[in-house]
Amino acid sequence: MKRSEKAARIGGYLDEVYPALPIPLDHSDPYTLLVAVLLSAQTTDKKVNEVTPGLFAEGPDPQAMADLGAPRILEHIRVLGLAPTKAKNVQWMSEILVERHKGEVPVDMAALEALPGVGHKTASVVMAQAFGVPAFPVDTHIHRLATRWGLTNGKNVKKTEADCKKVFPRDTWIRRHLQIIQFGRDTCPARWHDLAACPICGWAATKKQIETEASRNRRK
**Annotated catalytic, 163?**
no
For residue 184, CA distances in Å to 72, 97, 144, 199 come to 35, 34, 9, 12
User: What does the angle CA 162 – CA 14 – CA 12 come to, to the nearest 5 degrees?
Assistant: 85
What are φ and ψ of residue 194, in 5° steps? -85, 95
| Annotated catalytic residue within 121, 158, 159, 194 | 121
**Annotated catalytic, 139?**
yes
| Annotated catalytic residue within 139, 163, 166, 194 | 139
Q: Which residues, 6 or more positions from 82, have their beta carbon under 8 angstroms from its beta carbon?
A: 41, 42, 43
Q: Which residues are catalytic?
A: 121, 139
